[in-house]
């Protein structure tokens, strides 16, 4: 049986003006945006609709902004939002869970805010970064990371031939040279604030674990393919464990999309800002259809 999968983007998909059309054209969307302003204690809508690129790059703003755009876009679809399965890339996993009914909107937003602040604090403790490695087999990337002195690990399995590594700055730099020597087309340091999805996020994981444990999560209306396992999950306790582990574990996006296709997904719809996931899905599984509703 053919199935429709909905996927939700992560950090990096933001753009100035995101969500403005929803706010101005839909009363339900406007109500949710205003509720978010109240919960966060500042008018994030002002930064989303008319701020600067620099404003939106601040982790405290970026993560809630993408979450809000994605979730509210799904909510206003009403009965047209009928996922057979969902997944989210990193931050997008929280959007997917709220859209699929596993978490309340307010609870999801508070968790995302706490996640952003905890990650920012962890970034300030040690100098870390990430780098994109292009046109090198995953196994070779893993081997170079393992051979490199210091903390550097695979962080985002985005699609075949595109893997992001993460860790201490010096180790990532050394690993980039190793990747090029191993045959990578490019190994490029990314302009990010820290070593996301690496052991250097352990302080953030510890802080977020308490918040996640205290949050009510119920069974979603459909299976969510979580980053940590790249497999279908419905159990509330397992969802919580995977959300906590996600901060220091890699995003297995390639594996997640392949698992969804194996389980019957023939159509993928990206919900939220940008078209990054739409492009990745097509590179992972050229036989499926993919679209984006921003």
Q: Which fold has domain 3-124+199-293?
A: Malonyl-Coenzyme A Acyl Carrier Protein; domain 2 (3.40.366)
**What residue ranges do the domains of the chain occupy?**
3-124+199-293, 127-189
pLDDT of residue 1: 66
- Give the predicted TM-score (pTM) of the model: 0.96
127-189 has CATH 3.30.70.250 classification: yes
Residue whose pair of structure tokens reads 């194996």 in the numeric block: 262
Cα–Cα distance for residue pair 58/68, rounded to 1 Å: 15
Instruction: For strands 223-225 and 232-233, give the pairing.
Output: antiparallel
**How many C-beta neighbours within 10 Å does residue 183 have?**
10
Tens of pLDDT along 236-293?
Answer: 999 999 999 999 999 999 999 999 999 999 999 999 999 999 999 999 999 999 999 9
Catalytic residues: 90, 197
Tens of pLDDT along 171-226?
Answer: 999 999 999 999 999 999 998 889 999 999 999 999 999 999 999 999 999 999 99
Q: Is the pLDDT of residue 131 over 70?
A: yes
Tens of pLDDT along 103-126?
Answer: 999 999 999 999 999 999 999 998
């Amino acid at each position: 049986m053919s199935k429709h999968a909905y996927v939700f983007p992560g950090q990096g998909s933001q753009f100035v003006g995101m969500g403005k059309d929803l706010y101005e054209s839909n009363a339900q969307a406007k109500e949710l945006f205003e509720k978010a302003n109240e919960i966060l204690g500042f008018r994030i809508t002002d930064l989303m609709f008319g701020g600067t690129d620099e404003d939106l790059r601040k982790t405290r703003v970026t993560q809630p902004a993408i979450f809000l755009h994605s979730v509210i876009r799904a909510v206003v679809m009403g009965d047209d939002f009928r996922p057979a399965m969902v997944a989210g890339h990193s931050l997008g996993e929280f959007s997917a869970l709220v859209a699929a009914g596993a978490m309340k909107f307010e609870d999801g937003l508070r968790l995302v805010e706490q996640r952003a602040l905890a990650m920012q604090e962890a970034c300030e403790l040690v100098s870390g970064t990430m780098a994109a490695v292009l046109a090198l087999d995953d196994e070779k990337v893993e081997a170079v990371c393992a051979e490199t002195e210091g903390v550097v690990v695979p962080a985002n399995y985005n699609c075949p031939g595109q893997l992001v590594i993460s860790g201490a700055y010096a180790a990532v730099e050394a690993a980039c040279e190793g990747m090029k020597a191993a045959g990578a087309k490019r190994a490029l340091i990314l302009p990010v604030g820290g070593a996301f999805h690496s052991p250097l996020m352990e302080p953030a994981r510890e802080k977020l674990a308490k918040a996640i444990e205290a949050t009510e999560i119920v069974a979603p209306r459909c299976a969510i393919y979580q980053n940590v396992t790249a497999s279908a999950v419905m159990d509330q306790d397992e969802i919580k464990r995977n959300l906590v582990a996600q901060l220091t574990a890699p995003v297995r996006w390639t594996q997640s999309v392949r698992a969804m296709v194996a389980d019957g997904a023939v159509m993928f719809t990206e919900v939220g800002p940008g078209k990054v996931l739409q492009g990745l899905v097509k590179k992972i599984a050229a036989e499926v259809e993919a679209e984006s509703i921003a």
